Amino acid sequence: MEFLISLLKIYSPSGSAGDALNFLAEVLERAGVEASIDDYGVLTCAGENPVILLCGHVDTVPGPLPVTLRNGILSGRGVVDAKGPLAAMICAFLRLSENVRNSIYLAVVSDEETPEGLGTGALLEKLPRSIKYGIVGEPSRGKGVTVSYHGRLSFWLEVKGKAMHASASIARSNAIESCFQLYSLIKNRLLQSLGKIPICPTVVHGGDNFSSLPKSCRLHVDLRVPPRFSLQEIRQIILDEVDRFRTGERNFKINVVFNSSVEPFSVDSDNILVKTFLETIREVMKIEPILINKLGTSDFNLIGRKLGIPVVAYGPGNPRLSHTNIERLLVSEYLSSIDVLERVVKSLVRCVK
Protein backbone atom coordinates (compact mmCIF):
# COMPACT_ATOMS: atom_id res chain seq x y z
CA MET A 1 0.00 0.00 0.00
CA GLU A 2 2.94 2.31 0.56
CA PHE A 3 3.51 2.61 -3.19
CA LEU A 4 -0.09 3.66 -3.94
CA ILE A 5 -0.24 6.05 -0.98
CA SER A 6 2.98 7.74 -2.11
CA LEU A 7 1.60 8.07 -5.63
CA LEU A 8 -1.65 9.59 -4.35
CA LYS A 9 0.25 12.21 -2.36
CA ILE A 10 1.74 13.56 -5.59
CA TYR A 11 -0.94 15.88 -6.98
CA SER A 12 -0.96 15.31 -10.74
CA PRO A 13 -3.82 16.93 -12.66
CA SER A 14 -3.53 16.80 -16.44
CA GLY A 15 -0.72 19.08 -17.55
CA SER A 16 1.10 18.83 -14.22
CA ALA A 17 1.94 15.15 -13.93
CA GLY A 18 5.71 15.37 -14.30
CA ASP A 19 6.51 14.66 -10.64
CA ALA A 20 4.25 11.60 -10.64
CA LEU A 21 5.87 10.27 -13.82
CA ASN A 22 9.34 10.74 -12.36
CA PHE A 23 8.26 8.94 -9.19
CA LEU A 24 7.00 5.97 -11.20
CA ALA A 25 10.22 5.88 -13.24
CA GLU A 26 12.27 5.80 -10.02
CA VAL A 27 10.14 2.97 -8.57
CA LEU A 28 10.57 0.91 -11.72
CA GLU A 29 14.29 1.54 -12.02
CA ARG A 30 14.84 0.60 -8.36
CA ALA A 31 13.19 -2.70 -9.26
CA GLY A 32 15.65 -3.15 -12.12
CA VAL A 33 13.27 -2.12 -14.91
CA GLU A 34 14.42 0.49 -17.39
CA ALA A 35 11.83 3.21 -17.98
CA SER A 36 11.78 6.20 -20.29
CA ILE A 37 9.56 9.30 -20.51
CA ASP A 38 9.00 10.94 -23.90
CA ASP A 39 8.14 14.52 -24.86
CA TYR A 40 4.41 13.73 -24.67
CA GLY A 41 4.65 12.69 -21.03
CA VAL A 42 4.34 8.97 -21.73
CA LEU A 43 6.35 6.57 -19.58
CA THR A 44 7.17 3.25 -21.21
CA CYS A 45 8.90 -0.02 -20.34
CA ALA A 46 9.17 -2.18 -23.44
CA GLY A 47 9.93 -5.87 -23.32
CA GLU A 48 12.05 -7.50 -26.01
CA ASN A 49 9.09 -9.28 -27.63
CA PRO A 50 5.93 -7.60 -26.29
CA VAL A 51 2.57 -9.23 -26.96
CA ILE A 52 0.54 -7.61 -24.15
CA LEU A 53 0.02 -3.87 -23.67
CA LEU A 54 -0.58 -2.69 -20.12
CA CYS A 55 -1.69 0.93 -20.28
CA GLY A 56 -2.74 3.22 -17.43
CA HIS A 57 -2.86 6.93 -16.77
CA VAL A 58 -1.39 8.94 -13.91
CA ASP A 59 -3.15 12.27 -14.53
CA THR A 60 -6.31 13.17 -12.64
CA VAL A 61 -9.05 15.76 -12.81
CA PRO A 62 -8.26 19.01 -10.92
CA GLY A 63 -8.93 19.36 -7.21
CA PRO A 64 -6.62 17.94 -4.53
CA LEU A 65 -8.10 15.67 -1.86
CA PRO A 66 -6.56 14.54 1.44
CA VAL A 67 -5.01 11.08 1.37
CA THR A 68 -6.36 8.96 4.22
CA LEU A 69 -6.38 5.28 5.15
CA ARG A 70 -9.06 4.27 7.65
CA ASN A 71 -10.74 0.93 8.32
CA GLY A 72 -9.43 -0.65 5.15
CA ILE A 73 -10.56 2.24 2.91
CA LEU A 74 -8.06 4.44 1.08
CA SER A 75 -9.17 7.89 -0.07
CA GLY A 76 -7.51 10.52 -2.24
CA ARG A 77 -7.64 12.23 -5.60
CA GLY A 78 -7.20 9.66 -8.33
CA VAL A 79 -7.40 6.57 -6.15
CA VAL A 80 -10.31 5.43 -8.36
CA ASP A 81 -9.59 7.24 -11.62
CA ALA A 82 -7.09 5.93 -12.14
CA LYS A 83 -4.05 5.74 -9.86
CA GLY A 84 -5.50 2.76 -8.02
CA PRO A 85 -5.86 0.68 -11.22
CA LEU A 86 -2.46 1.96 -12.43
CA ALA A 87 -0.69 1.03 -9.20
CA ALA A 88 -2.30 -2.42 -9.26
CA MET A 89 -1.07 -2.86 -12.83
CA ILE A 90 2.49 -1.81 -11.97
CA CYS A 91 2.59 -4.02 -8.86
CA ALA A 92 1.43 -7.01 -10.92
CA PHE A 93 4.03 -6.18 -13.58
CA LEU A 94 6.84 -6.09 -11.02
CA ARG A 95 5.82 -9.46 -9.61
CA LEU A 96 6.38 -11.12 -12.98
CA SER A 97 9.60 -12.86 -13.84
CA GLU A 98 11.98 -11.13 -16.23
CA ASN A 99 11.13 -13.71 -18.86
CA VAL A 100 7.41 -12.86 -18.68
CA ARG A 101 8.10 -9.12 -18.52
CA ASN A 102 9.86 -9.43 -21.87
CA SER A 103 6.41 -10.10 -23.32
CA ILE A 104 4.94 -6.91 -21.81
CA TYR A 105 4.79 -3.33 -23.03
CA LEU A 106 3.98 -1.14 -20.02
CA ALA A 107 2.80 2.41 -20.75
CA VAL A 108 1.67 5.25 -18.50
CA VAL A 109 0.12 8.31 -20.15
CA SER A 110 -0.36 11.66 -18.45
CA ASP A 111 -3.09 13.38 -20.47
CA GLU A 112 -5.92 10.83 -20.54
CA GLU A 113 -8.27 13.26 -18.81
CA THR A 114 -7.88 15.81 -21.61
CA PRO A 115 -9.99 15.82 -24.80
CA GLU A 116 -6.93 15.78 -27.05
CA GLY A 117 -5.22 12.62 -25.76
CA LEU A 118 -2.00 13.51 -27.56
CA GLY A 119 0.10 11.20 -25.39
CA THR A 120 -1.98 8.15 -26.19
CA GLY A 121 -1.97 9.05 -29.87
CA ALA A 122 1.83 9.28 -29.86
CA LEU A 123 2.07 5.99 -27.97
CA LEU A 124 -0.10 4.17 -30.50
CA GLU A 125 2.09 5.34 -33.36
CA LYS A 126 5.19 3.70 -31.89
CA LEU A 127 3.77 0.45 -30.52
CA PRO A 128 5.23 -2.70 -32.10
CA ARG A 129 2.93 -4.77 -34.28
CA SER A 130 3.59 -7.78 -32.10
CA ILE A 131 1.02 -6.55 -29.53
CA LYS A 132 -1.93 -8.96 -29.47
CA TYR A 133 -3.85 -7.95 -26.32
CA GLY A 134 -4.49 -4.71 -24.49
CA ILE A 135 -5.33 -4.16 -20.82
CA VAL A 136 -6.28 -0.63 -19.80
CA GLY A 137 -6.16 0.42 -16.15
CA GLU A 138 -9.59 1.80 -15.28
CA PRO A 139 -11.92 1.14 -12.32
CA SER A 140 -14.21 -1.86 -12.67
CA ARG A 141 -14.73 -2.81 -8.99
CA GLY A 142 -12.10 -5.54 -9.32
CA LYS A 143 -14.80 -8.07 -10.15
CA GLY A 144 -15.83 -6.52 -13.45
CA VAL A 145 -14.33 -6.64 -16.93
CA THR A 146 -15.14 -3.67 -19.13
CA VAL A 147 -15.74 -4.69 -22.74
CA SER A 148 -17.44 -1.60 -24.13
CA TYR A 149 -17.17 2.18 -23.92
CA HIS A 150 -19.44 4.79 -25.46
CA GLY A 151 -17.92 7.33 -27.79
CA ARG A 152 -17.91 11.06 -27.14
CA LEU A 153 -18.88 14.01 -29.27
CA SER A 154 -18.87 17.59 -27.99
CA PHE A 155 -19.97 20.68 -29.88
CA TRP A 156 -20.88 24.35 -29.56
CA LEU A 157 -24.22 25.75 -30.65
CA GLU A 158 -23.89 29.42 -31.60
CA VAL A 159 -26.72 31.95 -31.99
CA LYS A 160 -25.73 35.48 -33.03
CA GLY A 161 -27.86 38.57 -33.58
CA LYS A 162 -28.24 42.14 -32.33
CA ALA A 163 -28.37 43.41 -28.76
CA MET A 164 -31.64 45.18 -27.95
CA HIS A 165 -33.47 46.61 -24.95
CA ALA A 166 -35.12 43.95 -22.82
CA SER A 167 -38.54 45.48 -23.56
CA ALA A 168 -38.13 44.37 -27.17
CA SER A 169 -38.63 40.78 -26.04
CA ILE A 170 -42.35 41.17 -26.71
CA ALA A 171 -41.60 41.14 -30.41
CA ARG A 172 -38.06 39.76 -30.76
CA SER A 173 -36.53 36.39 -30.02
CA ASN A 174 -33.91 36.04 -27.31
CA ALA A 175 -30.53 34.54 -28.31
CA ILE A 176 -30.34 32.51 -25.09
CA GLU A 177 -33.85 31.15 -25.50
CA SER A 178 -33.26 30.37 -29.18
CA CYS A 179 -30.04 28.55 -28.35
CA PHE A 180 -31.79 26.35 -25.79
CA GLN A 181 -34.68 25.74 -28.19
CA LEU A 182 -32.20 24.49 -30.77
CA TYR A 183 -30.52 22.30 -28.15
CA SER A 184 -33.90 20.81 -27.15
CA LEU A 185 -34.71 19.97 -30.77
CA ILE A 186 -31.34 18.27 -31.25
CA LYS A 187 -31.62 16.37 -27.98
CA ASN A 188 -35.12 15.11 -28.73
CA ARG A 189 -34.10 13.97 -32.21
CA LEU A 190 -31.04 12.14 -30.87
CA LEU A 191 -33.06 10.43 -28.16
CA GLN A 192 -35.55 9.27 -30.79
CA SER A 193 -32.78 7.94 -33.02
CA LEU A 194 -30.35 6.51 -30.46
CA GLY A 195 -32.51 5.72 -27.44
CA LYS A 196 -31.61 6.78 -23.91
CA ILE A 197 -28.12 8.30 -24.04
CA PRO A 198 -26.12 10.75 -21.92
CA ILE A 199 -26.45 14.25 -23.39
CA CYS A 200 -26.33 17.57 -21.58
CA PRO A 201 -25.25 21.21 -21.85
CA THR A 202 -22.05 21.82 -19.89
CA VAL A 203 -21.14 25.48 -20.55
CA VAL A 204 -23.27 28.52 -21.45
CA HIS A 205 -22.01 31.93 -22.59
CA GLY A 206 -24.59 34.62 -23.23
CA GLY A 207 -25.42 38.17 -22.22
CA ASP A 208 -23.51 40.87 -20.35
CA ASN A 209 -26.21 43.37 -19.41
CA PHE A 210 -29.09 42.81 -17.01
CA SER A 211 -31.50 44.99 -19.03
CA SER A 212 -30.68 43.99 -22.60
CA LEU A 213 -31.51 41.15 -24.92
CA PRO A 214 -28.17 39.39 -25.42
CA LYS A 215 -26.38 39.79 -28.73
CA SER A 216 -25.40 36.14 -28.80
CA CYS A 217 -25.35 32.85 -26.95
CA ARG A 218 -22.97 29.88 -27.10
CA LEU A 219 -23.95 26.54 -25.60
CA HIS A 220 -21.52 23.65 -25.21
CA VAL A 221 -23.02 20.16 -25.42
CA ASP A 222 -21.50 16.85 -24.32
CA LEU A 223 -22.91 13.73 -25.96
CA ARG A 224 -22.04 10.04 -25.40
CA VAL A 225 -22.51 7.70 -28.36
CA PRO A 226 -23.38 3.97 -28.06
CA PRO A 227 -21.08 1.48 -29.84
CA ARG A 228 -23.69 0.56 -32.44
CA PHE A 229 -23.57 4.09 -33.92
CA SER A 230 -20.83 6.05 -35.69
CA LEU A 231 -19.94 9.67 -35.02
CA GLN A 232 -20.60 10.45 -38.68
CA GLU A 233 -24.24 9.42 -38.26
CA ILE A 234 -24.59 11.57 -35.15
CA ARG A 235 -23.01 14.63 -36.75
CA GLN A 236 -25.42 14.38 -39.66
CA ILE A 237 -28.45 14.25 -37.35
CA ILE A 238 -27.19 17.37 -35.56
CA LEU A 239 -26.49 19.22 -38.83
CA ASP A 240 -29.96 18.36 -40.16
CA GLU A 241 -31.62 19.81 -37.05
CA VAL A 242 -29.47 22.94 -37.20
CA ASP A 243 -30.38 23.47 -40.86
CA ARG A 244 -34.07 22.97 -40.10
CA PHE A 245 -33.93 25.44 -37.23
CA ARG A 246 -31.93 27.94 -39.28
CA THR A 247 -34.55 28.14 -42.04
CA GLY A 248 -37.21 29.23 -39.55
CA GLU A 249 -35.07 31.75 -37.65
CA ARG A 250 -34.60 35.13 -39.36
CA ASN A 251 -33.31 37.20 -36.46
CA PHE A 252 -30.14 35.20 -35.79
CA LYS A 253 -27.22 33.54 -37.48
CA ILE A 254 -27.11 29.90 -36.39
CA ASN A 255 -23.99 27.76 -36.37
CA VAL A 256 -22.64 24.52 -34.91
CA VAL A 257 -18.95 23.90 -34.22
CA PHE A 258 -17.89 20.34 -33.48
CA ASN A 259 -15.22 20.05 -30.83
CA SER A 260 -13.54 16.90 -29.49
CA SER A 261 -14.65 13.42 -30.50
CA VAL A 262 -13.87 9.78 -29.70
CA GLU A 263 -15.43 6.90 -31.60
CA PRO A 264 -17.22 4.24 -29.50
CA PHE A 265 -15.65 0.81 -29.23
CA SER A 266 -16.57 -2.63 -27.96
CA VAL A 267 -15.03 -6.09 -28.06
CA ASP A 268 -16.59 -9.50 -28.45
CA SER A 269 -16.73 -11.02 -24.99
CA ASP A 270 -16.12 -14.46 -26.48
CA ASN A 271 -12.33 -14.06 -26.81
CA ILE A 272 -9.41 -15.44 -24.83
CA LEU A 273 -8.62 -12.12 -23.11
CA VAL A 274 -12.08 -11.69 -21.64
CA LYS A 275 -12.44 -15.39 -20.82
CA THR A 276 -9.09 -15.41 -18.99
CA PHE A 277 -10.15 -12.45 -16.88
CA LEU A 278 -13.50 -14.02 -16.00
CA GLU A 279 -11.92 -17.32 -15.01
CA THR A 280 -9.19 -15.65 -12.97
CA ILE A 281 -11.60 -13.39 -11.09
CA ARG A 282 -13.60 -16.47 -10.09
CA GLU A 283 -10.45 -18.17 -8.84
CA VAL A 284 -8.96 -15.22 -6.96
CA MET A 285 -11.99 -13.34 -5.62
CA LYS A 286 -14.36 -16.31 -5.23
CA ILE A 287 -17.21 -14.33 -6.76
CA GLU A 288 -19.04 -14.33 -10.08
CA PRO A 289 -17.47 -11.71 -12.38
CA ILE A 290 -19.50 -9.27 -14.44
CA LEU A 291 -19.14 -7.75 -17.89
CA ILE A 292 -19.34 -3.96 -17.91
CA ASN A 293 -20.45 -1.57 -20.64
CA LYS A 294 -19.43 1.98 -19.72
CA LEU A 295 -21.14 5.19 -20.80
CA GLY A 296 -17.90 7.18 -20.67
CA THR A 297 -14.77 7.02 -22.80
CA SER A 298 -11.15 6.12 -22.09
CA ASP A 299 -7.95 5.06 -23.83
CA PHE A 300 -9.78 1.75 -24.35
CA ASN A 301 -11.52 3.36 -27.34
CA LEU A 302 -8.33 4.65 -28.93
CA ILE A 303 -6.28 1.50 -28.37
CA GLY A 304 -8.97 -0.87 -29.56
CA ARG A 305 -9.73 1.04 -32.75
CA LYS A 306 -6.13 1.80 -33.65
CA LEU A 307 -4.67 -1.64 -33.00
CA GLY A 308 -7.71 -3.75 -33.86
CA ILE A 309 -6.98 -6.19 -31.04
CA PRO A 310 -8.96 -7.53 -28.07
CA VAL A 311 -8.91 -4.92 -25.29
CA VAL A 312 -10.44 -4.78 -21.82
CA ALA A 313 -10.42 -2.20 -19.06
CA TYR A 314 -9.86 -3.51 -15.55
CA GLY A 315 -8.98 -2.31 -12.08
CA PRO A 316 -10.15 -1.74 -8.53
CA GLY A 317 -12.53 1.04 -7.58
CA ASN A 318 -16.15 2.04 -8.11
CA PRO A 319 -16.29 3.95 -11.43
CA ARG A 320 -19.22 6.00 -10.13
CA LEU A 321 -16.80 7.71 -7.76
CA SER A 322 -14.57 8.87 -10.63
CA HIS A 323 -14.12 12.67 -10.78
CA THR A 324 -15.96 13.12 -7.48
CA ASN A 325 -14.76 14.47 -4.14
CA ILE A 326 -15.28 11.10 -2.46
CA GLU A 327 -12.81 8.96 -4.39
CA ARG A 328 -12.13 5.95 -2.19
CA LEU A 329 -11.00 2.38 -2.60
CA LEU A 330 -11.25 -0.84 -0.61
CA VAL A 331 -7.75 -2.05 0.20
CA SER A 332 -8.88 -5.67 -0.10
CA GLU A 333 -10.22 -5.01 -3.60
CA TYR A 334 -6.98 -3.33 -4.62
CA LEU A 335 -4.85 -6.24 -3.40
CA SER A 336 -7.09 -8.82 -5.07
CA SER A 337 -6.92 -6.96 -8.38
CA ILE A 338 -3.11 -7.20 -8.31
CA ASP A 339 -3.40 -10.99 -8.00
CA VAL A 340 -5.91 -11.08 -10.86
CA LEU A 341 -3.71 -9.02 -13.17
CA GLU A 342 -0.60 -11.06 -12.40
CA ARG A 343 -2.35 -14.36 -13.14
CA VAL A 344 -4.07 -13.06 -16.28
CA VAL A 345 -0.80 -11.83 -17.78
CA LYS A 346 0.97 -15.11 -17.01
CA SER A 347 -1.85 -17.11 -18.61
CA LEU A 348 -1.94 -14.96 -21.73
CA VAL A 349 1.82 -15.13 -22.21
CA ARG A 350 1.69 -18.94 -21.92
CA CYS A 351 -1.09 -19.06 -24.52
CA VAL A 352 0.79 -16.87 -26.99
CA LYS A 353 4.01 -18.84 -26.63
Cα(130)–Cα(102) distance, integer angstroms: 12
What domains are there in the chain, each with its CATH number?
A: 2-149+264-352 (3.40.630.10), 151-262 (3.30.70.360)
pLDDT (0 to 100) of residue 234: 94
What DSSP string describes 160-213?
E---EEGGGGGTS--HHHHHHHHHHHHHHHHHHHH-S--EEEEEEEE-S-TTEE
The answer to whether 308 touches 82, Cβ cutoff 8 Å, is no
The answer to whether 21 touches 67, Cβ cutoff 8 Å, is no
Which residues, 6 or more positions from 233, have their beta carbon under 8 angstroms from its beta carbon?
none
Residue 20: pLDDT over 90: yes
Cα(294)–Cα(297) distance, integer angstroms: 8
Strand 52-57 versus strand 104-109 pairing type: parallel
Residues 58-112 pLDDT 10s: 999 999 999 999 999 999 999 999 999 999 999 999 999 999 999 999 999 999 9
Q: What pTM does this model have?
A: 0.87
347 against 116, higher pLDDT: 347
pLDDT (0 to 100) of residue 320: 93
Residue 33: exposure state from Cβ atoms within 10 A (0-12, 13-18, ≥19): middle
Residues 169-223 pLDDT 10s: 665 778 899 999 999 999 999 999 988 999 999 999 998 888 888 889 999 999 9
13 against 213, higher pLDDT: 13
Residue 352: pLDDT over 80: no
